C-alpha cells in the first residue's frame, strides 16, 4: 500500500509511519498538517490517506474537511480518519462514501485489526469504529426501525456497519456463521432492506438508511 | 408727605441721618417724662422706617413706597423731638413745639395707610383704587388741620397751658370729618390689599402674605397690649419689637428676600403663638389643680406644672403644626400628606420605590425633575463642593438673578437634608439629599430650592433611602447574577479545556508510546520479551480507554455534535425506551451543556426512582428560550428538595438566568421542565 499520513503530533506521526513500513507498506508522504494533503495525493496517487481529524490551525475539523476534499478530487483513494473520540457529526456525511474509514486512534495499537481496516478502506471498503457505529445507532435512538431489533440483531448491525463480513462477525461474536446469517436476514427484513451479499454495499445500505431516517444534518457550531 | 420726591441717593442718606439725629436727640428730652417704652419705641420706629425706605431705594430707585418711608421717617423723628422739647415748658417755644407734635404725628398714620395702598409695587391695587391715595392724603390733611386748629384733639394730647393754644372755635367738625375719613382710608386700604391678593400672581401673593404675617404678629401681641400695656414690661418690649417690624416687613417683601419662605414664617408664627397659649393654659391649669391639692407646696406645684407642660409640648407641637398647615398652607399639607401616604405604601410593600421620581415630579409640579440615586461608592459630581456636616439646612444658590436662599427644613421628622449645589445649563438646580451625612440622591429640578422642595425632600428622605437601598440591592443582585453566569461559563470553559488536554495531550502520548512499543516488538520478532510488550500495550490500551471515559465525564465531547445528537445518544444509552422530540436549532454552548446535564440527571433519577415504562424527552426553542422537558409515566411524588443532583442542576440553570419546574403528582408520573434563555 502507498500511504499518505497527515498527523500533527510528531511522535504519533513517526509511530504511524513505522507501523506501516514495518509491515512492508510505503509511506509516500508524512505531513504535519492538512494543508499539503491534497497536493501530496495528486503527486503520489496513494492507495490510502490517513488523517488526524484535529490538526492545525484550528484543531477542530481540518481532517474531516480534507477527507471530503480528497474524496471529491480522488474518489478512488481510500481515506481513513483517526480521532481521539467520536465526533459523530463529521462521520455522518462521509460514511456513505466508499473507501472511507473512521477509527479511534487507539485502534492502531491492535496492529492486525488496524491494518486490516486500512486495507479494507484502501480497497474501497468501510471501516467504522464500533464507537462511531454505536454513536450513530444511539443517536438514532429508539425511533423506528432500529427499535424493533433484538439486542443480538443490534450487535450484528453494529458489526455490519463496521464493515465486517459474516465470517468476521461470527468470529467476533463467537457464534456460527449460519447464526450470523440468520440475524442479518432478520434485521435487514425488519429494516426493510433488500438482502445483499457484498459487505461494503451492505454497510452502505444500513448506514444510508440510518442516516436518512435518524440523523439530522449537523448544526453549525454556536460560539 | 406723599409728594416728597427724593431724586438722589445722597438726599435719602441725608434724610436718614436727620431722622437718626432727631430720634437720638428726642430720647434725653423725653426720658422720664413719659412711659419709658414710648421714649424708645417711637424714635426706633422712625429709624426703622427710614432704614427700610433707604434699603428699598438702593435696590429699586424711585420706588414710591421707598420714597414714602424715607420721607415719613424724619417727620416722625422730628415729631418725637418736638414732643420731647415740649415737655420742657419753661424753654422758649415749648408751646409751639407741643402744638406741632400734637398734630404732626398724624402724618405718620397717613403715610402708613398710603404705603399699604401702594404696597408692594408702588401702584394702586387696581384702576378703580387709584383715587384712594389722594383720598387718604385729603383725609389725613383734614384730620391734621382739625387737630391743629380746634380743641377736638385736646383729650388725647396734654398741653401745659390747658388745651390747644391756636384753636378756633367751630372747627371741631374738621377733626370729626378727618377722623371718619382716615378710619375709612385705613379700612379701604386693607380691603384693597385683600382685593390685590385676590388678583395677584404667585410672587406678588408671597409679598402680600408677608404683610398678613405682620398682621398675625400684631394679632398675637395686640391683645396683650390692650390688656396690660402700661403694667407689663414684657408686653411693652414685645410691642416695641413688633411695631418697627412693619417697615422691616415691607422692605423684605418689596425686595423679595427669601420670598418663598413666607408660608413657613406665617405658619410657624401662628403655630408657635397657639402653642404658647396652649402651654400657658396647660401650665396654669395644672398649677391651679396642684395648688388646690397640695396647699402651700409652691415649689412642687411649679415643678408639677412645668412637667405637665413639658410632657404635652411635643405631641402638641406636631398637632398644632399639622392643623395650622392644614388651614394656612393647604398645598404644603396636601403635598406632604401625599409623600407620607406613599411612604406608608412603600413600607407596606404596596408601592414600588420606582414610583418615587414620578411622585416627586407630580407633587412638585416639575415634569422634568430627575432623581438620581447615589449608590455607595458612587461619588456625586457636586459632592466636592463641601457638604455641611449634617443638619437640615439648604444652602443658597442663585438662579437667574433671583435670590433663592434655601430654607430651614423641617428636620424633626427625619434627619434628612437637602442641599442645592448649583445650576446646570437649563437653569435647573441640583439638590443633594443627605441623611446623616451620607449622600443619598441628587435631584435635578427647575423649581426653586426653597419651599416646598426642601420640605418635600426632607419628608421623602426615608422613601429616598428605601429606594436607594432597593436600587443597591438590585445592583448587587445583578452583579452577583453576572458573576454567577461568568463562573458557570468559566467552569464550562475549564472542563472543555481539560477534556481537550486529556484527549490531545495524555491520550495521544499514550498512543504514541504504544506505537513505539509496537515498533520495538516488531524488531524483537519472536523473542520472549515481545510477549511482555504485548501485555504492556494492552495495559496502555486500557489506560487510554480509562482516559477517554474520564474525559467523557469531564465534558462529554458529543456535546460538540449539538444538543439533539447528544440527547439522542443519551436516550439510546438509557435502559428504558426514551422518545426524543428535539429540534432546538443552534444554541449557545453553555445552554447545550446545561440542558444535557439536566436531561442526564433526570434520566438517572427516573431509572432510580420512578419505576417508569417510557420517557419522553422534548427540546425546542420558544421565544428565545430553550424549553427542555423530561416526562415519565412512573410513580410520581418526587420532591424537588430531595435530590442534591437536582439542586445542583437548579443552580446551574439559575446561573444561566433560567428556571426549573418539577411537577410530580403521586401516581401520575413526573415532568421536569427547564427554561433556559438562549441569548448569550
Question: Could you read off the pLDDT of B326-352 as tens digits, one per residue?
Answer: 766 667 777 788 888 888 888 887 888
Output the nine-digit C-alpha cell for B329: 398652607
- Tell whether A188 and A115 lie within a shared domain: no
Query: Would you call B519 and A108 a contact, using CB atoms and an 8 Å cutoff?
Result: no
Residue B139 pLDDT greater than 80, yes or no: yes
Which of A18, A59, A141 lies nearest to residue B519, judging by beta carbons?
Answer: A18
CATH at A186: 1.10.10.10
Residues of A in contact with B579 (CB under 8 A): 141-143
**Alpha-carbon span B658 to A22, nearest angstrom:** 57
Q: A146 and A202, same structural domain?
A: yes
Amino acid A200: pLDDT: 53
pLDDT at residue A181 is higher than 70: yes
Position A221 in a domain:
no
> Which residue among A128, A155, A189 closes a domain?
A128
Instruction: Write down which residue in A97, A128, A159 finishes a domain.
Output: A128
pLDDT band for position B584 (cuts 50, 70, 90): confident
Q: Which of A14, A16, A85 to mutate to test the interface with B (most CBs of B within 10 A)?
A: A85
**Gap from B592 CA to chain A (nearest CA, Å):** 10
Closest Cβ–Cβ partner in A87, A222, A223 for B557: A87
Q: How far apart are CA B435 and CA B387, in angstroms?
A: 12
The label of the residue with cell 398652607 reads B329
Q: Is the confidence at residue B406, as pLDDT, over 50? A: no
- Residues B413-425: what's their mean pLDDT? 48
Q: Read off the pLDDT of residues B619-652 as tens digits, 9 standing for 90 and up.
A: 999 888 999 999 999 888 877 666 667 777 788 8
**Shortest distance, CA A107 to any CA of chain B (angstroms):** 9
Residue B514, pLDDT above cutoff 90: yes
Give the pLDDT band (50/70/90) at residue B295: low
Q: Given this model, what pLDDT does residue A221 score?
A: 38
The Cα-based distances of B558 to A82, A218, B364, B499, B589 in angstroms read 16, 12, 63, 12, 12
Contact B586 A220 (CB under 8 A): yes
Backbone angles phi, psi at B93, to 5 degrees: 75, 20
Q: Reply yes or no on whether the pLDDT at B58 is more than 60.
A: yes
Q: Is A27 on the interface with B (CB under 8 A)?
A: no
Residue B590 has pLDDT above 80, yes or no: yes
Residues of B with CB under 8 A from a CB of A: 503-504, 507-512, 514-516, 518-519, 522, 537, 540-541, 544-545, 548, 551-552, 557-558, 560-562, 564-565, 568-569, 571-573, 577-580, 583, 585-589, 592
- Check if the beta carbon of residue B172 is closer than 8 Å to that of residue B152: yes
Q: Is residue A36 a part of any domain in this protein?
A: yes
Sign of CA dihedral B505, B506, B511, B514: positive
Is the pLDDT reported for residue A39 higher than 90? Answer: yes
| Residue A211, pLDDT score | 54
Tell me the pLDDT band of B510, cut-offs 50, 70 and 90: very high
pLDDT tens-place string over residues A92-130: 667 667 788 889 888 899 898 899 889 988 988 888 887
The pLDDT value recorded for residue B227 is 61
Q: Does A105 sit within 8 Å of B578, measured CB to CB?
A: no
Q: Is A118 in the same domain as A155?
A: no
Same domain flag for A94 and A139: no
- Which chain A residue's Cα is nearest to B550? A85
For residues B65 and B56, the answer to whether their CB atoms sit within 8 Å is yes
Q: Which residue has the higher pLDDT, A139 or B624?
A: B624
Last residue of a domain, one of A71, A104, A128: A128
Does some domain include residue A166? yes
Task: Check if A138 contacts B (Cβ < 8 Å).
Answer: yes
Residues from chain A contacting residue B511 (CB–CB below 8 Å): 12, 15, 105-106, 108-109
Tell me if B519 and A22 make a contact (CB, 8 A cut-off).
Answer: yes
Are B515 and A19 inside 8 Å of each other by CB? yes
Q: Across the interface, do A222 and B565 touch by the CB < 8 Å criterion?
A: no
Cα gap A76→A48, rounded to integer Å: 9
Matching residue, cell 433526570: B602
Read off the pLDDT of residues B466-496 as tens digits, 9 standing for 90 and up.
Answer: 888 888 888 888 888 888 888 888 888 888 8
Provide the pLDDT confidence category of residue A195 given band limits of 50, 70 and 90.
low
| Co-location of A94 and A150 in the same domain | no
Domain check: are A31 and A119 in the same one? yes
Please name which of B422, B363, B413 lies closest in space to residue B392, comparing C-alpha atoms: B413
Instruction: Say yes or no: A17 and A124 in one domain.
Output: yes
Q: What are the φ/ψ torsions at residue B399 (nearest 5 degrees)?
A: -120, 125
Helix (H, G, I), strand (E, B) or coil at B223: helix
* Exposure string over A128-160, b if 16+ CB within 10 A, otherwise e: bbbbbbbbbbbbbbbeebbeebeebbbbbbbbb
Residues A183 and A119 in one domain: no
**Which positions in chain A touch B558 (Cβ < 8 Å)?**
86, 88, 135
- Selection from A173-182, B211-220, B232-241, B293-302 with the highest mean pLDDT: A173-182
Query: Cβ A135–B583 below 8 Å, yes or no?
Result: no
Residue A65 located in a structural domain: yes
Question: Looking at the predicted structure, is the pLDDT value of residue A140 above 90?
Answer: no
| Whether residues A76 and A6 fall in one domain | yes
Instruction: Kindly determine whether residue B572 and residue A54, on different chains, have CB atoms separated by under 8 Å.
Output: no
Examine residue A25 and state whether it is found in any structural domain, yes or no.
yes
The answer to whether the Cβ–Cβ distance between A11 and B509 falls below 8 Å is: yes
User: What ipTM was predicted for this assembly?
Assistant: 0.79
pLDDT band at B673 (very low <50, low <70, confident <90, very high): very high
Q: Minimal Cα–Cα distance from B664 to chain A, Å?
A: 25
Q: Which of A33-42, B319-328, B638-647 has the highest mean pLDDT?
A: A33-42
Candidates A12, A85, A142; nearest CB to B511: A12
Q: Which residues of A touch B560 (CB under 8 A)?
A: 87, 89, 221
A84 and chain B in contact, CB less than 8 A: yes
pLDDT at B659: 87
DSSP B609: I
Q: What is the pLDDT at residue B626?
A: 92
Average pLDDT over residues B122-127: 85
More confident residue, B147 or A219: B147
In a domain, A222, yes or no: no
Query: Cβ contact (<8 Å) for B562 and A109?
Result: no
Segment among A72-81, B176-185, B416-425, B524-533 with least mean pLDDT: B416-425
Same-domain pairing of A145 and A84: no
| Gap from B463 CA to chain A (nearest CA, Å) | 45
Band (B447; pLDDT cuts 50, 70, 90) = low
Residues of B in contact with A143 (CB under 8 A): 579-580
Q: How many CA atoms lie within 13 A of A120 on its CB side?
A: 24
Q: Minimum mean pLDDT among B375-389, B448-462, B641-655: which range?
A: B375-389
Chain B touched by A148 (CB under 8 Å): no
Residue A220 included in any domain = no
- pLDDT > 70 fraction of chain B, expressed in percent and rounded: 84
Q: Chain A partners of B562 at a C-beta cutoff of 8 Å?
A: 89, 218-219, 221
In the predicted model, what is the mean pLDDT of chain B? Answer: 79
Q: Look up residue B517 and give its DSSP letter.
A: H
Q: Taking CB atoms and an 8 Å cutoff, what residues of chain B touch A115?
A: none
The secondary structure element, H or E, covering residue B645 is helix B644-655
| A122 in the same domain as A160 | no
- The distance of B561 to chain A (nearest Cα, Å) reads 6
Entry pTM: 0.49
CB of B146 closer than 8 Å to CB of B171: yes
**Chain-centre distance of CA B441, in angstroms?**
10
CB contact under 8 A, A19 and B519: yes
Asked whether residue A169 is assigned to any structural domain, the reply reads yes
**A89 to B562: CB separation less than 8 angstroms, yes or no:** yes
Residue-level pLDDT at B465: 85
Using an 8 Å CB-CB cutoff, list chain A residues near B561.
87-89, 139, 218
CATH code of residue A71 = 3.40.50.2300
What is the structure's pLDDT at B391? 33
Range of the domain at A183: 134-213
Higher-confidence position of B143 and B280: B143
pLDDT value for A214 = 43
Alpha helices in chain A (DSSP H): 10-22, 37-44, 62-73, 88-92, 111-122, 130-140, 151-162, 166-173, 177-191, 199-213
Name the most confidently modeled range: A12-16, B10-14, B574-578.
A12-16
Chain B residue whose CA is closest to A55: B504
Residue from B550, B552, B519 nearest B537 by CA: B519
- Note whether A139 contacts B: Cβ–Cβ < 8 A: yes
Given a cut of 80, whether residue B662 has pLDDT beyond it is yes
Set out the domains of chain B in order of their start, with CATH numbers.
Answer: 9-257 (1.20.1070), 272-328 (no CATH), 331-459 (no CATH), 476-554 (1.10.287), 558-677 (3.30.565.10)
| pLDDT tier at A47, thresholds 50, 70, 90 | very high
Listed by number, the residues of chain A in 36-65 with a beta carbon closer than 8 Å to a beta carbon of chain B are 54, 59
User: How many structural domains compose chain A?
Assistant: 2
A150-163 per-position pLDDT tens digit: 888 878 877 877 77
Same domain, A93 and A142: no
Cβ-nearest to A139 among B514, B552, B568: B568
- State mean pLDDT over B262-280: 76
Q: Which residues of B touch A114 (CB under 8 A)?
A: none
In this predicted structure, what is the pLDDT of residue B296? 60
Q: Choose among A87, A105, A222: nearest Cβ to B587.
A: A222
- A12 and B561: CB-CB below 8 Å? no
Closest chain B residue to A146, measured at CA: B572
Q: A12 and B515 in contact by Cβ < 8 A? A: yes
Amino acid at each position: 500500500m502507498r500511504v499518505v499520513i497527515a498527523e500533527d503530533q510528531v511522535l504519533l506521526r513517526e509511530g504511524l509511519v513505522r507501523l506501516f513500513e514495518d509491515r512492508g507498506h510505503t509511506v509516500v508522504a508524512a505531513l504535519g498538517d492538512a494543508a499539503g494533503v491534497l497536493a501530496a495525493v495528486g503527486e503520489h496517487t496513494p492507495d490510502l490517506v490517513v488523517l488526524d481529524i484535529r490538526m492545525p490551525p484550528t484543531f477542530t475539523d481540518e481532517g474531516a474537511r480534507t477527507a471530503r476534499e480528497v474524496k471529491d478530487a480522488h474518489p478512488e483513494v481510500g481515506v481513513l480518519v483517526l480521532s481521539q473520540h467520536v465526533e459523530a457529526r463529521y462521520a455522518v456525511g462521509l460514511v456513505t462514501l466508499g473507501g472511507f474509514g473512521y477509527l479511534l486512534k487507539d485502534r492502531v495499537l491492535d496492529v492486525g485489526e488496524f491494518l486490516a481496516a486500512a486495507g479494507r478502506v484502501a480497497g474501497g471498503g468501510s471501516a467504522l469504529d464500533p464507537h462511531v457505529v454505536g454513536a450513530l445507532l444511539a443517536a438514532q435512538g429508539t425511533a423506528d426501525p432500529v427499535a424493533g431489533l433484538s439486542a443480538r440483531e443490534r450487535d450484528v448491525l453494529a458489526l455490519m456497519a463496521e464493515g465486517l463480513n459474516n465470517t468476521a462477525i461470527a468470529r467476533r461474536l463467537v457464534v456460527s456463521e449460519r447464526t450470523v446469517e440468520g440475524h442479518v436476514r432478520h434485521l435487514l427484513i425488519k429494516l426493510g432492506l433488500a438482502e445483499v451479499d457484498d459487505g461494503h454495499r451492505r454497510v452502505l445500505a444500513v448506514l444510508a438508511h440510518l442516516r436518512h431516517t435518524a440523523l439530522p444534518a449537523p448544526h453549525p457550531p454556536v460560539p | 408727605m406723599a409728594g416728597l420726591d427724593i431724586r438722589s441717593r445722597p438726599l435719602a442718606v441725608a434724610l436718614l441721618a436727620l431722622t437718626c439725629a432727631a430720634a437720638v436727640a428726642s430720647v434725653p428730652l423725653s426720658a422720664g417724662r413719659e412711659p419709658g417704652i414710648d421714649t424708645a419705641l417711637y424714635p426706633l420706629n422712625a429709624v426703622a422706617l427710614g432704614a427700610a425706605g433707604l434699603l428699598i431705594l438702593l435696590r429699586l430707585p424711585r420706588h414710591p413706597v421707598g420714597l414714602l418711608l424715607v420721607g415719613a421717617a424724619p417727620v416722625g423723628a422730628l415729631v418725637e423731638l418736638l414732643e420731647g422739647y415740649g415737655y420742657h415748658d419753661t424753654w422758649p417755644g415749648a408751646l409751639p413745639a407741643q402744638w406741632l407734635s400734637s398734630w404732626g404725628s398724624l402724618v405718620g398714620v397717613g403715610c402708613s395707610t398710603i404705603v399699604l395702598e401702594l404696597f408692594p409695587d408702588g401702584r394702586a391695587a387696581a384702576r378703580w383704587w387709584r383715587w384712594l391715595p389722594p383720598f387718604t392724603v385729603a383725609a389725613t390733611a383734614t384730620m391734621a388741620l382739625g387737630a391743629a386748629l380746634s380743641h377736638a384733639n385736646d383729650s388725647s394730647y396734654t398741653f401745659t397751658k390747658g388745651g390747644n393754644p391756636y384753636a378756633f372755635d367751630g372747627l371741631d367738625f374738621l377733626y370729626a370729618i378727618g377722623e371718619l375719613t382716615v378710619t375709612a382710608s385705613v379700612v379701604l386700604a386693607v380691603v384693597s390689599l385683600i382685593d390685590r391678593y385676590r388678583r395677584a400672581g404667585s410672587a406678588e401673593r408671597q409679598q402680600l402674605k408677608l404683610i398678613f404675617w405682620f398682621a398675625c404678629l400684631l394679632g398675637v401681641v395686640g391683645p396683650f397690649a390692650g390688656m396690660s400695656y402700661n403694667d407689663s414690661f414684657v408686653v411693652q418690649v414685645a410691642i416695641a419689637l413688633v411695631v418697627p417690624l412693619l417697615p422691616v416687613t415691607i422692605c423684605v417683601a418689596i425686595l423679595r428676600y427669601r420670598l418663598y419662605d413666607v408660608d413657613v414664617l406665617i405658619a410657624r408664627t401662628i403655630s408657635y403663638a397657639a402653642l404658647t397659649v396652649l402651654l400657658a393654659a396647660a401650665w396654669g391649669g395644672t398649677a391651679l389643680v396642684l395648688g388646690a391639692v397640695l396647699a402651700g407646696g409652691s415649689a412642687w406645684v411649679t415643678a408639677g406644672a412645668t412637667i405637665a407642660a413639658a410632657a404635652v409640648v411635643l405631641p402638641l407641637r406636631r398637632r398644632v403644626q399639622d392643623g395650622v398647615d392644614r388651614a394656612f398652607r393647604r398645598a404644603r399639607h396636601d403635598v406632604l400628606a401625599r409623600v407620607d401616604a406613599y411612604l406608608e405604601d412603600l413600607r407596606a410593600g404596596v408601592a414600588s420605590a420606582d414610583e418615587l421620581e414620578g411622585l416627586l415630579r407630580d407633587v412638585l409640579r416639575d415634569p422634568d425633575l430627575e432623581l438620581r440615586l447615589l449608590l455607595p461608592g458612587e461619588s456625586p459630581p457636586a459632592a466636592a463642593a463641601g457638604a455641611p456636616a449634617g443638619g437640615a439646612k439648604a444652602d443658597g444658590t442663585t438662579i437667574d438673578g433671583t435670590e433663592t436662599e434655601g430654607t430651614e427644613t423641617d428636620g424633626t421628622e427625619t434627619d434628612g437634608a437637602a442641599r442645592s449645589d448649583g445650576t446646570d445649563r437649563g437653569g435647573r438646580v441640583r439638590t443633594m439629599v443627605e441623611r446623616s451625612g451620607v449622600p443619598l440622591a441628587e435631584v435635578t429640578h427647575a423649581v426653586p430650592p426653597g419651599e416646598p422642595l426642601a420640605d418635600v425632600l426632607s419628608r421623602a428622605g426615608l422613601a429616598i433611602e428605601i429606594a436607594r437601598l432597593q436600587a443597591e440591592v438590585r445592583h448587587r443582585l445583578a452583579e452577583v447574577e453576572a458573576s454567577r453566569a461568568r463562573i458557570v461559563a468559566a467552569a464550562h470553559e475549564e472542563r472543555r479545556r481539560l477534556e481537550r488536554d486529556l484527549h490531545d495531550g495524555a491520550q495521544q502520548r499514550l498512543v504514541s508510546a504504544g506505537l513505539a512499543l509496537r515498533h520495538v516488538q516488531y524488531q524483537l520478532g519472536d523473542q520472549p520479551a515481545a510477549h511482555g510488550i504485548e501485555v504492556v500495550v494492552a495495559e496502555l490500551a486500557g489506560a487510554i480507554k480509562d482516559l477517554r471515559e474520564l474525559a467523557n465525564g469531564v465534558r462529554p465531547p458529543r456535546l460538540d455534535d449539538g444538543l439533539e445528537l447528544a440527547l439522542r445518544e443519551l436516550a439510546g444509552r438509557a435502559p428504558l425506551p426514551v422518545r426524543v422530540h428535539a429540534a432546538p436549532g443552534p444554541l449557545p454552548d453553555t445552554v447545550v451543556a446545561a440542558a444535557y446535564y439536566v436531561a442526564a440527571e433526570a434520566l438517572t433519577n427516573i431509572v432510580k426512582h420512578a419505576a417508569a415504562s417510557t420517557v419522553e424527552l422534548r427540546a425546542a426553542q420558544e421565544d428565545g428560550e430553550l424549553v427542555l422537558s423530561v416526562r415519565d409515566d412512573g410513580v410520581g411524588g418526587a420532591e424537588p428538595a430531595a435530590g442534591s443532583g437536582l439542586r445542583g442542576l437548579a443552580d446551574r440553570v439559575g446561573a444561566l438566568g433560567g428556571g426549573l419546574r418539577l411537577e410530580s403528582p403521586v401516581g401520575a408520573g413526573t415532568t421536569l421542565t427547564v427554561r433556559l434563555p438562549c441569548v448569550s
